[in-house]
């Protein structure tokens, strides 16, 4: 007796869309899921090239590869949302690629550039940055949907990597002041420690996910964008390093303003205000107890009183039923 082999096909993802009054089932191709992962792969490839170029003492190209990796990292999430191809695999793959591109690569580039001259302090600073980048990415994955999406909790790892890459690029292009020549390793040490610790702090940094819409943006946004392109093209290393320095300080400035104006931190979901003047919370005091009131002490202790009350209720019900108009 021949046994038929039934091939189990993988279910094709479908999506129901409404066209007028009709509902159309739109079949989504499996090949489309590769598209956002290709951008993540490109980001990881740029990080690998950056590490290789740093080992070959080509620090300018290594810094540029880190910034190009940041560009690909910003595109993969947007492509996944536009094509509706979000998946758990893409989330995990993106986290691993970010750890390599914005945690390992900047630390190694900075160490090979000038931190190695400090000995143990140099590799310690590079490891602190790498560790803080891993903690920052793990905390971001755990707080998705909990923290206000308008702000980042701590400095984002791509911005921290761009801060270090901009510093290296600026130093390679000889745009640093001459009096900083001998103290350049110590300046790199302070910058690396600052970028690492700022990634794991609770300062709110603007994310740019909610703001001016590109569909109906005012005219001033176009003018500001044109001026930004002109400034960056005139001196790219100095402009990029200055932009990320200002952004790395903006979180602390905004947190100071929140502290002065007595407002809660938007990136701390468990933050609330307690009135120590009352013995219990206001909501509990207004709502009252959630259990029924106890019976009087007489009824609770005297069985004869309870029996007489039940007898009165029974007689009253009989009288009402006997003299009702429907009897």
Side-chain-side CA neighbours of 236 within 13 Å: the count stands at: 11
> What DSSP string describes 261-287?
TT---TT-TT-----TTSSS-HHHHHH
pLDDT computed for residue 210 by the predictor = 65
Q: What does the mean pLDDT of the chain come to?
A: 77
Three-state SS at 23:
strand
Q: What would the mean pLDDT of 233-239 be, rounded to a whole number?
A: 86
- Tell me how crowded residue 50 is: count the other CB atoms within 10 A of its CB: 30
Q: Give the orientation angle of helix 120-142 with respect to helix 157-172, to 10 degrees.
A: 150
**DSSP count for the chain of H helices, then E strands:** 12, 4
- Tell me how crowded residue 135 is: count the other CB atoms within 10 A of its CB: 14
CB 175 within 8 A of CB 238: yes
With 50 as the cut, is the pLDDT of residue 1 above it?
Answer: no
Distances (CA, A) of 148 to 114, 140, 153, 270: 38, 12, 9, 12
pLDDT computed for residue 269 by the predictor = 64
Cα gap 165→241, rounded to integer Å: 8
**Tens digit of pLDDT for each residue in 165-187?**
999 999 888 777 666 777 889 99
Distances (CA, A) of 63 to 60, 115, 116, 181, 253: 5, 15, 17, 19, 28
- In terms of C-beta density within 10 A (0-12 exposed, 13-18 middle, 19 or more buried), how is residue 174 classed? exposed
How far is Cα of residue 196 from the mean position of the Cα atoms in its chain? 16
With 90 as the cut, is the pLDDT of residue 135 above it?
Answer: yes
Whichever domain contains 242, its CATH number is 1.20.120.1760
pLDDT computed for residue 108 by the predictor = 95
Query: For residue 145, what are its two tokens?
Result: 């949907």
- 255 occurs within a structural domain: yes
- 313 occurs within a structural domain: no
- Of 116-120, 138-142, 219-223, 288-292, which gets the smallest average pLDDT? 288-292
Query: How many structural domains comprise the chain?
Result: 1
- 281 occurs within a structural domain: no
- 197 occurs within a structural domain: yes
pLDDT computed for residue 288 by the predictor = 46
% of the chain beyond a pLDDT of 70: 67
pLDDT computed for residue 4 by the predictor = 45
- 137 occurs within a structural domain: yes
- 231 occurs within a structural domain: yes
- 265 occurs within a structural domain: no
- 84 occurs within a structural domain: yes
pLDDT band at residue 291 under the 50/70/90 scheme: very low
Provide the domain limits for residue 167.
27-260
With 50 as the cut, is the pLDDT of residue 188 above it?
Answer: yes
pLDDT band at residue 82 under the 50/70/90 scheme: confident
């Amino acid at each position: 007796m021949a046994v038929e082999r039934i091939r189990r096909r993988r279910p094709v993802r479908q999506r129901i869309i409404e066209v007028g009054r009709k509902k159309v089932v739109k079949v989504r191709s499996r090949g489309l899921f590769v598209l956002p992962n290709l951008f993540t792969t490109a980001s990881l490839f740029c990080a690998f090239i950056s590490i290789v170029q740093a080992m070959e003492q080509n620090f300018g190209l290594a810094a540029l590869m880190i910034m190009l990796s940041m560009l690909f990292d910003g595109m993969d999430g947007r492509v996944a949302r536009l094509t509706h191809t979000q998946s758990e695999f893409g989330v995990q793959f993106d986290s691993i690629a970010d750890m390599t591109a914005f945690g390992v690569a900047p630390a190694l580039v900075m160490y090979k550039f000038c931190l190695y001259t400090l000995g143990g302090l140099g590799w310690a600073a590079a490891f602190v940055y790498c560790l803080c980048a891993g903690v920052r990415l793990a905390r971001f994955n755990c707080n998705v949907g909990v923290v206000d999406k308008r702000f980042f909790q701590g400095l984002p790892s791509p911005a921290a990597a761009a801060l270090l890459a901009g510093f290296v690029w600026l130093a390679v292009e000889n745009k640093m002041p001459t009096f900083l020549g001998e103290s350049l390793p110590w300046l790199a040490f302070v910058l690396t420690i600052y970028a690492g610790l700022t990634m794991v702090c609770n300062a709110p940094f603007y994310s740019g996910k909610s703001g001016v819409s590109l569909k109906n943006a005012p005219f001033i946004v176009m003018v500001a964008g044109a001026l930004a392109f002109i400034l960056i093209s005139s001196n790219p290393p100095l402009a990029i390093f200055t932009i990320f320095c200002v952004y790395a300080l903006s979180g602390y400035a905004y947190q100071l303003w929140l502290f002065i104006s007595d407002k809660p931190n938007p990136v701390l979901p468990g933050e609330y205000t307690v009135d120590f003047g009352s013995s219990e919370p206001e909501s509990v005091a207004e709502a009252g107890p959630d259990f029924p009131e106890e019976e009087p002490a007489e009824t609770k202790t005297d069985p004869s009183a309870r029996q007489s009350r039940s007898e009165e209720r029974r007689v009253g019900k009989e009288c009402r039923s006997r003299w009702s108009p429907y009897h």
